[in-house]
Structure formats: structure tokens, C-alpha cells
Amino acid sequence: MSVAETALFNPGLFLSEADLPADCIPLPDLLILNQPIASFYVFSRLWNHTNYRICADGGANRLYDMFDGALEAQREAYLPDAIHGDLDSLRDDVRAYYAALGVEVSQDPDQYSTDFGKAMNKISSKHASTTSQRETLILGTLAGRVDQGLGLLHEMIREETRDPLLRLWLFSESSLSFILRSTHNVIRGTASSGLFTENVGLVPVFGPAVITTSGLEWDVMDWETQMGHQVSTSNHIVAEEVHVQANAPILFTVERAPLNAGATVRAWK
């Protein structure tokens, strides 16, 4: 993507109850990491908007365990296409359950890559001939161990750098995070969808950047941002479109509104 192009983002598409637009081809992939799944309702909406679903090693444990108790009858309706990784975290009972139902279980013993990287390689192999933009939704977390959270951000920028056609969306316990590249970025629909709060951060975790914004309560122009210096966290979205011009990749993170069974979410102003 050249700097002259505009990158469009519509974060609400994947959390909406409505079908994805007809031009969303190919459908996104879903990567489930070995971290607690905080909300079945968020999970199920992501699942319904994706075509290929893969668990990174112990992510299969998390998927299986989510259906303990009241949801147990639904477990068989949510079978992943594959479980992939070094398989050192996959429980025997979980492996046996999914394998018996035809789920592919494959092992990559490489100790120089993480289960995230292994799973992404498997996803990429499914799209070897794809020449259009593709999306991967990641169900994970930035909470817990700090080193693992930072490592996940590192792997996200690595994967997007390797494949300019790839866009990653990280759905954590309370936020949605994605990478804005060195271009004019337009984020649409966070207010009207009712799926997000106004709280947003633009964090230069990948290195120093200069940004210009519009649509935020505290907009900036040609603003130098760098970890250890000045960073736009705890900002507020005040417009239907947010524009961010950046000369280097930055992390855009927006807080999700609560999403529960039967809940009605309303747009804020």
C-alpha cells in the first residue's frame, strides 16, 4: 500500500449481528489463542463472520472449556477447522474430542516460532493464490503476562509487514486493536454502530511516528509521538469518521461496549 492511498477501517462489521457486506471476499479467518475467552457473545459473532477457524495449540482447550456448564449442548456446533502448533499445551481429552469429530490436528515442532506464528503460517497457506486484501480476527488478550502481550504486538506487525494484503484485528477482553499503517487511515462507524465506547488510544508501540488526526476530542497536527515521550492515550472519538495520517505504523485501540445476550447497545455522542 502506497502512502498516497487511503486505508479504510470499519471495526463494527465483525461484531454486528448483520451479515458482512457482499464485497467482503474472502471472508475473514478466525485465530483462537491460548487465552481465556471472555465473552461467548463476542466469540459467537466473530465465529459467524468467518470462514476458516483455527486454534493455536492450547487455544483448543479454551474453546472446549468455554462450553462447560450451560453451553455444553452447543459445543459440537462450534468445531474449528484445525488445531495447530507444537501441541505441548493441548490436553489429551480435548485432542481426542475434536479429532473424533474430524477436526484436523497438526503439529509443527519448530522451537524458533510461537504457536501464533505457526497458526498464521497455516492460515497463509490457505491464501497462497489470494491477490485481494484479507482479514484475520484474533481472539486473545493483552492482559496477563506483559512479555506475552508485547510479543503478540510484535508478531502482529511482523505478519502485516510480511504480507501487505493482510490485516489483523485483535479482540481482547474489553478492546479492539489494529495497526494503522504509514498512510491516510480512516476509521468509520464506531459511534453509529453502538458497539464501542468513545475511549480510544493511538499508541506508537512499533517506534516513533508523526501523526495528524481529526475526529477526536484532542486532535493533533504533525505531532511527534513516541514511547517515553508523548502518547495519545485516553482520547475520545467525537465524530463518525476518525482520520489518522501517520508516517509510521501505530496501534489504534478502541474500547468495546458491553455485549451480552439480549443487550441493546446505543450509540453515544
- Tell me the CATH architecture of domain 24-173: 3-Layer(aba) Sandwich (3.40)
Is residue 159 a contact partner of residue 168, using CB atoms and an 8 Å limit?
Answer: yes
Concatenated DSSP letters for the chain?
--TTSEEEE-GGGGTSSSPPPTT--SPPEEEE-SS----HHHHHHHHHT-SEEEEETTHHHHHHHHTSGGGGGGGGG---SEEEE--SS--HHHHHHHHHTT-EEEE---TTS-HHHHHHHHHHHTTTT--S-EEEEEE--S-S-HHHHHHHHHHHHHHHHH-TTEEEEEE-SSEEEEEE-SSEEEEE-TTTTSSEEEEEEEE-TTS-EEEEEESBTT--SSEEE-TTS--EEEEEB-SSEEEEEESS-EEEEEEEPP--TT-------
Q: Round to whole Å and give the CA distance between 56 and 119.
A: 6
175-269: same fold as 24-173?
Answer: no
Residue 23 has what pLDDT? 80
Residue 161 has what pLDDT? 95
pLDDT-flagged residues of the chain (< 50): 1-4, 262-269
Domain ranges of the chain: 24-173, 175-269
Residue 111 has what pLDDT? 85
Residue 262 has what pLDDT? 45
Residue 260 has what pLDDT? 64
For 175-269, which CATH class?
Answer: mainly beta
pTM for this entry: 0.92
Residue 2 has what pLDDT? 41
CA dist 166 → 127, 161, 176, 207 (Å):
10, 9, 17, 20
**Cα radius of gyration rounded to whole Å, the chain:** 19
